[in-house]
Amino acid sequence: MTSKVSFGCVLALVAGVGQAEIVAFEAYLDGLQEVGPNASPGTGYATGTLDTVTFEVNLSGTFQDLIGTTTVSHIHGLAPVGVNAGVILGLTIDGGVTDGSFTGAGTLTAAQAQGLLDGLTYINVHTTTFAGGEIRGQIFVVPAPAGAALLGLGGLVLARRRR
């Protein structure tokens, strides 16, 4: 009986994963992605999630080795790599520093959410030295883990064999 209960829990977990409407994303930031590129040694990294039903976005990130001190940070879009765009969402950033972190949360429009999914949004960290942005990183969706799909397939095979 215990194995049936455990198997049922695994199937419920896999079914929940299959119906999830949360998409993970990442961005790697550096000066070479700015328009025009700069030689800043600064780098950054951000992770976040987008709810594809409510269009709520949450993210957090870190940065280091900036030349200037931070002023503001945003998610911009809709624009492909190498093109500037307007602000979609302001981020909260450690101000006046060269190493620190940023966070953000908000609700996007349907078009903005689709743009994020399509790779048409980016994160920009603005500084006193580079008012237009010292480091930038295009946001990209993180593929769903293959392990979850394989676990679900394995569960279906086991369920079929038991019948």
Is 21-143 a CATH 2.60.40.200 domain?
yes
Tell me the domain boundaries of the chain. 21-143
Q: What CA–CA distance (Å, rounded) separates 163 from 141?
A: 39
Per-residue pLDDT tens over the stretch 10-54 = 334 444 444 559 999 999 999 999 999 999 999 999 999 999 999
Residue among 23, 19, 22, 37 at smallest CA distance from 119 = 23
Q: How many angstroms separate the CA atoms of 10 and 8, rounded?
A: 5
pLDDT value at position 149?
52
